[in-house]
Amino acid sequence: MVTLAEVAKHAGVSASTVSYVLSGKRSISSPTRERVERAISELGYHPNAGARALAGKRSHIIALVVPLRTDVYVPVMMEIAISVTVAARSHGYDVLLITNDEGPEGLRRVAASGLADGVILMDVELDDARIPVLRETGTHAALIGLPADTRGLACVDHDFAGAGALCAEHLADLGHQDIAFIGYAPGVYQRHAGYAERTLSGFRERAAQRGLRVLHRPCEGSYESTAGALSRILADRPDTTGFVVQNEGAIGPLLSLLRTSGRVVPEDASVVALCPEPLAEQYSPRLTAVTGPAHELGRQAVELVMNRLDDRPTAEVSLLTPVLTPRESSGPAPVR
């Protein structure tokens, strides 16, 4: 194993000079810098991570806490994890993966041992058990998701209310009057999951402004539950021509069922999905969809942690603007 001392000897300088060349924390004359850099590459030197952490009081690692089972669509979780890793690397940081099966104690372990300098929590809940640990240990952290009490925390999330509003806006613009919102499973609303409620209220508010009639139906996402939701919707409001779906599992069934019931999309019924782009693209017809930038979520979370590590102040909450991409599944309301 090549050590800093060996590099120093090889370059004919002191150890501290090598260290300073690496860290850039003091100015070095070009000739020495070059000698050192040559020595480094000739010997294939890589600083020892443990020693660096011990002496420098910084592990250059951030922990990413992922839930075992999650509300978040898995490919999106992965996209976030990857964007976090890439963004962290651009700051010279690596990412440690922590699963939530250790519970909040995992956080404490990682922070107290100095294994990680900071933490990013994914899939944060309104009343998240990990937050007290964060406060108690004073760990530098960024949250993806919005807890009930954000005081002193740094959070990034999609602007779900804005996303809901966008759906209402789009369908109203197309002349639809009766809209059904097919949502997550009832349990999700019963435990007051923030993203679900925020989307729904953003949607409802804008719908009210635009004078739309709205029906909200929770849905498990299975074929059967979607069929149940749809038939109730059509029974209660036969004039429904617009559908907003916020439930990945319900999309496929909904499209099949509309077809089966003789409704052509988008001529007879318009469908707007709240889902990731790749999902929207893979259906036939391709779905008009509202999406938030998942990789941006990861990137910003990393920026937040880095800012906190360097004692730069950060805003408490940052919401990312969603985008509606019109595709083939939405069109003008049918004339009656």
Partner DNA sequence: TTGTAAGCGTTATCAA
Partner DNA sequence: TTGATAACGCTTACAA
- Residues forming contacts to DNA in the complex (CB under 7 A) are 1-5, 12-17, 19-20, 22-23, 25-29, 31-33, 45, 47-48, 51-52, 54-57
| Residue 72 CB-density burial (10 A; 0-12 exposed, 13-18 middle, 19+ buried) | middle
Of residues 1 and 235, the one with the C-beta less far from a second copy: 1
Q: Which of 237, 235, 197 is nearest to 218 (CA)?
A: 197
Among a second copy, DNA, none, residue 77 binds (CB under 5-8 Å by kind): a second copy
How far, in Å, CA of 62 to CA of 97, rounded? 9
SS3 call for 62: strand
* Residue 227 C-beta: closest distance to DNA, Å: 59
Which residues fall within 8 angstroms of residue 226, CB to CB, at 6 or more apart?
Answer: 182, 219, 249, 250, 253, 254, 257
- Asked whether position 15 contacts a second copy by CB under 8 A, the answer is no
Task: Identify what 14 binds: DNA, a second copy, none; CB under 5 to 8 Å per kind.
Answer: DNA
Which tokens sit at 73?
């669509």
Residue 319 interaction partner, one of a second copy, DNA, none, beta carbon < 5-8 Å per kind? none
| Euclidean distance between CA atoms 6 and 37, whole angstroms | 13
The alpha carbons of the chain give a radius of gyration, in whole angstroms, of: 26
User: Which listed residue (12, 42, 103, 112) binds a second copy by CB under 8 A?
Assistant: 112
The footprint of a second copy on residues 183-222 (CB under 8 A) is 222
In the complex, minimum distance from the CB of residue 127 to DNA, in angstroms, rounded to a whole number: 33
- Where helices occur in the chain by DSSP H, the ranges are 4-11, 15-23, 30-43, 49-56, 74-89, 104-112, 130-137, 160-173, 186-190, 194-209, 223-236, 248-260, 277-281, 294-309
Contact call for residue 95 and a second copy (CB under 8 A)? yes
Q: Does 264 bind a second copy (CB under 8 A)?
A: no
Helix (H) and strand (E) counts for the chain?
Answer: 14, 12
- For residue 244, the cross-strand partners are 181, 272
What's the closest the beta carbon of residue 97 comes to DNA, in angstroms? 22
Which of 47, 162, 164, 242 lies at the binding interface for a second copy (CB under 8 A)?
Answer: 47
Is there binding between residue 78 and a second copy (CB under 8 A)? yes
Give the one entry of DNA, a second copy, none that residue 261 binds, where binding means its C-beta sits below a cut-off of 5 to 8 angstroms depending on kind. none
Binding site for a second copy (CB under 8 A): 1-2, 44, 46-54, 59, 61, 64, 66, 68, 74-75, 77-78, 81-82, 85-86, 89, 94-99, 101-102, 108-110, 112-115, 222-223, 249, 252-253, 256, 282-284
